[in-house]
Structure 1
Amino acid sequence: MNPIHLETLLTIVEEGSFEVAAAVLGISPSAVSQRIKSLEAATGRVLLRRTNPVTATDAGEIIVQAERRMALLQAETDVALGRRLARVPLSVAINSDSLATWFRGVIDETARRGEAALRIRIEDEARTLALLRRGDVLGAVTREHTPVSGCESSFIGTMRYHAVACPRLAREFAAGEITWETMPLVGYGPNDQTVNDAMRERFIDSHVVRARVSQIPSSEGYLEAVRCGLGWGLISKLQARELLKAGQLVLLDDKPLDIDLYWQRWRLESEVLEALTRDVLDAARALAPSKLGKARDS
């Protein structure tokens, strides 16, 4: 297959548009279309869904993932040859809570080495695996231990979450003035699996509380919303610790929610990807050694 055609396919998928891909590549939209037609003729498959945004078909995703791997190896080769201005792009999927806490150590180490560019995708840890499976990212922090085909999985630790609220809501809850189903709730977004798990453990009917759920799609914003009293929420132990000590947050019960996290990455011979994996494991263990176990690879 023509490498230029493969690059064009990847650019279209990343940009979601033939027109934007043409601008990025510095060619006309008709030239982009012609390249894709030639690639589809060579493979005998339809590779793109002509929707808005444009997405890859199942066959297209296989080729896109292969092209991403080749692009990573090419970028590493460029760096090894001494073109130090070129950085190896590392796309990573991670949940917002991890990014706000232990993953900062990974960013520090990546910056210190200066040989890779991080491209972080924020997604719930229960959903990051879909990005890895499609080849959109090289590595992902996920709940799933079983490795995706072509990937390896390492245990990185357990994030503990507590149901907390501001002192005012906590007092009303303790006094019986409000219940789990009448107390306002703060969620990260419509796909917040952590909050959904906590509600299920407390037998809270999601349909009953739906009208009282605020959605704050930022880890720092979420923490502030709970602190201010917009509703109760699930806050990681790492984020809640100081506010609990200061009395700005109060535990609502003694039912912590523990979520095991795993680092899944492509099984690919890559020095930069290996270094990133070491940084992920080291950063997680350094921040909460009492909750982290020995890494196990599959």
Structure 2
Amino acid sequence: MLDYAALAVVAAVVREGSFERAAGALHISPSAVSQRVRALEERLGAILILRSQPCQPTDMGRRLCAHYNAVRLLEADLTPDLRAQTAAPVTLKIAVNSDSLASWLAPAIVDFAERSGLLVELAIDDEAHTADRLHSGEVVAAITSDGLPVQGCRTVRLGALRYLACASPDFVARYFPEGPTADALLHAPYMRFDRRDDLQARWAMELAGAPLGALVHWIPSTRAFLDLALRGLAWGMQPANLAAPHLASGTLVELCADTPINVTLYWTVARLHADALQHLTKSVRGAAGAVLAL
């Protein structure tokens, strides 16, 4: 049988990123953390943690941490009196994309936390890559744009997050006086969230069959993406519900009306018979249904 007390220490080192911070979280000495990790590694005959900065789990360590987190999640189904006797609060780690968090997901997180009394840890990643964190066992659920099945998980369609190509009126007057032509798109500054963000390029190709130029600003924040568009920095694809009040007031305009790009989102969650995951799924689907397109 696994030594769950020692495994809790391994999980703390992985979560906190160092032996010292894990010691602080567990209220024990760093040497005690080191001894317990080393003892479990010797018992299992495998290295569980790479002593890097920050500390990283090996494949075996990652699998054991995922197992430990699943056990802790199932323990949360115990009656409140018994749950209160467990050593640490239960935290659900979820992979989400920044645009969903900023545009529709927050009410679901609040609703789940209030109803369950559990904690959440959000891992931010591109929606096309959040499923990778499920494969590795790092998270128990993810919002993803990939509807393919993940072993040990179930996937449900949430709806489509609609994006609009937007910019400030002054920016449009300066760079697109004749509309978003191929030449104008080549020379106008635009924004990208990160190197994996291809929404702007997709929109330009679908609208004008044209590539974008080299004048790109890298803005890895959904809120800053919107704020900087409002201030006239560049154009970019904005979540439609975030852009809507600014379009209504005229502080943002669409580069070309009625030319959205829809990104279909899915909720993929571990197949654990845990009440917490059922409650979380219900909250997420409810919030998605209020905002996302069918």
Is the TM value for this pair above 0.5? yes
Aligned ranges 1:188-203 → 2 under 5 Å: 188-195=193-200, 197-198=202-203, 201=206
Q: Select which of 199, 206, 223 maps to 2:226.
A: 223
How much has 1:84 moved relative to structure 2?
A: 10
How much has 1:176 moved relative to structure 2?
A: 5.2
What residue in structure 1 maps to residue 170 of structure 2?
168
What residue in structure 2 maps to residue 286 of structure 1?
290
What residue in structure 1 maps to residue 276 of structure 2?
272
How much has 1:169 moved relative to structure 2?
A: 1.9
Which SS does the other structure have where 2:175 is aligned? helix
| Residue 252 to residue 2, structure 1, CA distance change in 2 (3 Å) | same
Give a deviation string over 1:193-232, Cα, whole Å, max 9, x none: 43454456466656x41xx322333222211111111100
Aligned ranges 1:1-16 → 2 under 5 Å: 1-16=2-17
Deviation >6 Å, runs of 4+:
none
Which SS does the other structure have where 1:136 is aligned? coil
What residue in structure 2 maps to residue 65 of structure 1?
66
What residue in structure 2 maps to residue 242 of structure 1?
245
Separation in 1, partners of 2:32, 2:71 = 23
What residue in structure 1 maps to residue 22 of structure 2?
21
Give a deviation string over 1:146-182, Cα, whole Å, max 9, x none: 1322111110000111111111221233325972122
Letter in 1 for 2:223: E
TM-score (norm 1): 0.86
| Residue 274 to residue 252, structure 1, CA distance change in 2 (3 Å) | same
Separation in 1, partners of 2:186, 2:95 = 33
Which SS does the other structure have where 2:104 is aligned? coil
Separation in 1, partners of 2:99, 2:128 = 13
Structure 1 segments unaligned to the other structure (5+ residues) = 293-298
Separation in 1, partners of 2:204, 2:94 = 29
| Residue 119 to residue 241, structure 1, CA distance change in 2 (3 Å) | same
Aligned ranges 1:19-98 → 2 under 5 Å: 19-77=20-78, 79=80, 81=82, 83=84, 88-98=90-100
Which SS does the other structure have where 1:260 is aligned? strand
| Residue 283 to residue 139, structure 1, CA distance change in 2 (3 Å) | same
What residue in structure 2 maps to residue 296 of structure 1?
none
Separation in 1, partners of 2:131, 2:79 = 29
Separation in 2, partners of 1:244, 1:42 = 62
Q: 1:87 touches 1:115 (CA, 8 Å); kept in 2?
A: no
Q: 2:94 touches 2:142 (CA, 8 Å); kept in 1?
A: yes
Structure 2 segments unaligned to the other structure (5+ residues) = none
Separation in 1, partners of 2:55, 2:210 = 39
Letter in 2 for 1:150: G
What residue in structure 2 maps to residue 260 of structure 1?
264
Q: 1:88 touches 1:115 (CA, 8 Å); kept in 2?
A: no
* Count of matched residue positions in the alignment of Structure 1 and Structure 2: 287
Letter in 1 for 2:217: S
Give a deviation string over 1:80-100, Cα, whole Å, max 9, x none: 636399854222221122112
Q: 1:79 touches 1:115 (CA, 8 Å); kept in 2?
A: no
Separation in 1, partners of 2:184, 2:240 = 23
Q: 1:40 touches 1:47 (CA, 8 Å); kept in 2?
A: yes
Q: Percent identity?
A: 34
Aligned ranges 1:96-245 → 2 under 5 Å: 96-175=98-177, 179-195=184-200, 197-198=202-203, 201=206, 205=211, 208-209=213-214, 212-245=215-248
Q: 1:126 touches 1:193 (CA, 8 Å); kept in 2?
A: no
Separation in 1, partners of 2:141, 2:123 = 10
